[in-house]
Amino acid sequence: MRHKVFVGVLFFLTLLMWNCENPFTPDIPESTYTNLPPETHISMIYHPDTILTAGDYWINDGDTIWVEENDSLILGLDTTVSVKEVFWWGDDPDGEVIGYYYQWSFMPEPEFTQEESDTFYLPLRSKFDIYSFKVWAVDNDSLEDSTPAVVSFPVYNSPPVLEWKLNSLPPVATTPNVVHQSFTHHSFFWDVYDLDGLETITAVYWALDDTSKWQRIDGNQRSIFLEDLEPGNHRIFFQAEDIAGAKSNVISFPDPDDDKIPNTWKVIEPVGDYLIVNDYASDQLNYTHQNFYKEIFDNIIGSDQYSIWEIGDNVNNAHNSIPYSTQDIEYNLSYFKNVFWFTFRGENSINQSALALTRFVADGGVLFMNNAMKGGTLADTTWSFTSIDTMYFFSKTGRVLPGTNIDAFWGDPVLDSTLALSLGSTLADRLWAIEPGKNAVIRYRFEDAGPNGQSYNGAPGIMTETRINEGICYYMTIPLYYCNGNENVDKLFKHVFELE
């Protein structure tokens, strides 16, 4: 009986507990959680120009732009250039940022990116404008920041700056009151800078003599080559322009306000088929060597049948130093069929001219290179306009006496006798002997000194002949000026230039 009562009580208590709330397990309220949007932040690097604050105004082509207190402009900042580097980042309290939308005031639609910085080139349409940039983050639930980060700022279009390319213009040694000469062509090189980026340079204008007649070339061009120039004095002008129409300073050559370049540029017309190149700058003080060669050319060619090109150095005739451009050198040679180029003592311009010389010979020209270099200035055996195997000092004392014979090797006994040379005066310099390379033959040697030679040993080679295509290069290592002891240097020129 007791057992039945216990079971009944237990059943009753179970039913009671089933229908009663458990005080130890209260009901959990319904969830009120919502996804929080990300927040976006922005920073930028700017290059100041002119401070603009509230109440100020900017006049642009007659339009007045006021800066208001509630303007989104960053008040107090300067006007800036059109190249903008902008940084941004986002925070998401309950997730992660997966990317960003950004939009400039001039963009019709925003763009998506996962980057957090970029450099922008703002489109310049006027001298002054105000741009705004906004960016907003997106989280991993595709929720966007409803309050984008915004920055606004004024942009002033910086005008281009134009200057001559370094060392591209002929210099002056002391005074600018000198005359730079060229044949009827000339190259000019310049550099242009713009804080807004080189992409904004749309045009470069140039004018020859008359600045009312500007001519346009592409803004990315940094040089110009002028041909068929009229003989006489000239002045050339250049100016750059950017996409907003801002113009650079004007540069010119000559420039009366620049005392580091010649005040005069004179174009001379090439004359005849023959060219004398005086690459011995010290001779251009009194022209002793040049006048010697001029007299010969006057007699065998005619005084009005050849041209002269004088190449200076940084001391003598600096305003006519070797042109900056190889193209100018090539053109100087291209007017002629026969070139006599002489050097002596000191630096010369052969290394700078080597490519042009090779092309001249390869195109069928006749080059007589009288490159009398002193010890310490070594020829380049890789020059391709001639073929040199070996070079060495041939003089023991640096002095070779008058009357020393120079034997000819032209392959004909009569010609060898007719063109045999001798020193007419003491050769008082340590100079080089050469032995021909595989594509050259010897044409002159000093006479064999024998076992008791006092000035030199053996029979040093001093002139070779190299053929390239239909052209010929004669390369001589002692100054021909000293080799007229037999008074027949004129005959050598006649033979070399085929005037016989």
Largest CA distance in the chain: 163
**Domain end among 232, 266, 300:** 266
Same domain, 346 and 474: yes
Residue 43 lies in a domain: yes
Whether residues 383 and 490 fall in one domain? yes
pLDDT higher than 90, residue 79: no
27 is a domain residue: no
Mean pLDDT across the stretch 5-14? 56
Report in angstroms the alpha-carbon separations of 152 from 104, 112, 400.
Answer: 10, 20, 82
Instruction: Please report whether residue 200 resides in a domain.
Output: yes
Does 75 reside within a domain?
A: yes
Q: What is the pLDDT of residues 22-57, one digit of tens each?
A: 555 556 556 555 778 999 998 876 555 444 444 444
Range scoring the smallest mean pLDDT among 98-107, 151-160, 187-196, 419-428? 151-160
Domain carrying residue 120:
39-156
Average pLDDT over residues 50-67: 41
Residue 31 lies in a domain: no
Q: Report if residue 15 sits inside a domain.
A: no
Residues 286 and 367 in one domain: yes
300: domain CATH number is 3.40.50.880
User: What phi, psi does 472 have (nearest 5°)?
Assistant: -135, 140
Query: What percentage of the chain has pLDDT greater than the value 90?
Result: 66
Flag whether 25 is in a domain.
no
Domain count, the chain: 3
Is residue 230 domain-shared with residue 327, that is, in the same domain? no
Shared domain for 258 and 283, answered yes or no, is no
Residues 151 and 53 both lie in one domain? yes
Does 428 share its domain with 281?
yes
Q: Are residues 287 and 251 both part of a single domain?
A: no
Please write down the HEC assignment for all residues of the chain: CHHHHHHHHHHHHHHHHHCCCCCCCCCCCCCCCCCCCCEEEEEEECCCCCECCCCCEEEECCEEEECCCCCCECCCCECECCEEEEEEEEECCCCCEEEEEEEECCCCCCEEECCCEEEEECCCCCCEEEEEEEEEEEECCCCECCCCEEEEEEEECCCCEEEECCCCCCCCCCCCCCEEEECCEEEEEEEEECCCCHHHEEEEEEEECCCCCCEEEECCCCEEEEECCCCEEECEEEEEEECCCCECCCEEECCCCCCCCCCEEEECCCCCCEEEEECCHHHHHCCHHHHHHHHHHHHHCCCCCEEEEECECCCCCHHHECCCCHHHHHHHHHCCCEEEEEEECCCCCHHHHHHHHHHHHHCCCEEEEEEECECCCCCCCCCCCCCEEEEEECECCCCECCCCEEEECCCCHHHHHHCCEECCCCECCCEEEEEECCCEEEEEEECCCCCCCCCECCCCEEEEEEEECCEEEEEECCCHHHCECCCCHHHHHHHHCCCC
**Pair (340, 412) in one structural domain:** yes
pLDDT digits (tens, 9 = 90+) for 263-303: 999 999 999 999 999 999 999 999 999 999 999 999 999 99
The residue from 136, 156, 176 where one domain ends is: 156
Is 9 within the bounds of a domain?
Answer: no
Q: Tell me the CATH number at 127.
A: 2.60.40.10
What is the value of pTM for the model shown? 0.77
Quick check: 66 pLDDT over 50?
A: no
Same domain, 487 and 359: yes
